[in-house]
Amino acid sequence: MERMNYSEVAPNAFRALLALSQHVLKSGLETKLVDLVWLRASQINGCAYCIDMHHRDLLARGDTPERLALLSVWREEPSFTPRERAALALAEAATTLGPNGVPNDVYQTALETFGEQALVELTLSIAVINAWNRMSITFRKAPGHNKPAAR
């Protein structure tokens, strides 16, 4: 059961986080790539609400149920592009930060793949979804009420 509707209780805080999400979506990164990163981070964090949302969004954008079912094992699935692989590796490393942070090889691959500007935007997208995950998990936002986003 949902603990509270945080968007109604603290609308300015909600709008601030939403503004960061909108910035990421207008940053030039492919929307489908951002949604893949957001879905993978949400899987790692165990955020049912966000998993549901981004799964639906990706299906609406033409991704396949079979490919999304294999997202958690993307390293073994050949349908993920080199660009997606670099983004997913960074998303996993930045979401599960260990004592040494993001490994140099993961960072270097992401930098070579995206360039400096897009890497900053991609890293912000990872930070944003981790914030959304923590909000939704803390307040037990219920999944199943999402319609695909029109972006």
**Mean pLDDT confidence for 42-58:** 97
In a domain, 77, yes or no: yes
In a domain, 22, yes or no: yes
The yes-or-no verdict on residue 144 having pLDDT over 90 is no
Read off the pTM.
0.93
Separation between Cα atoms, residue 61 and residue 130, nearest integer Å? 22
Separation between Cα atoms, residue 20 and residue 14, nearest integer Å? 10
* Helix intervals (H) in the chain: 6-9, 11-25, 31-45, 48-60, 65-69, 82-95, 104-138
The yes-or-no verdict on residue 151 having pLDDT over 60 is no
Tell me the per-residue pLDDT of 15-48, one tens digit each, with 9 for 90 and over: 999 999 999 999 999 999 999 999 999 999 999 9
In a domain, 38, yes or no: yes
What is the residue range of 109's domain?
Answer: 7-138
In a domain, 112, yes or no: yes
Q: How many structural domains is the chain composed of?
A: 1
Instruction: Give the torsion sign (CA, 64, 69, 71, 76).
Output: negative
* Residue 132 near residue 50 (C-beta atoms within 8 A): yes
Separation between Cα atoms, residue 54 and residue 66, nearest integer Å? 15
| pLDDT of res. 147 | 62
In a domain, 145, yes or no: no
pLDDT confidence of 142, banded at 50, 70, 90?
confident
Diameter of the chain by CA atoms?
Answer: 44
In a domain, 144, yes or no: no
- Residue 88, domain CATH: 1.20.1290.10
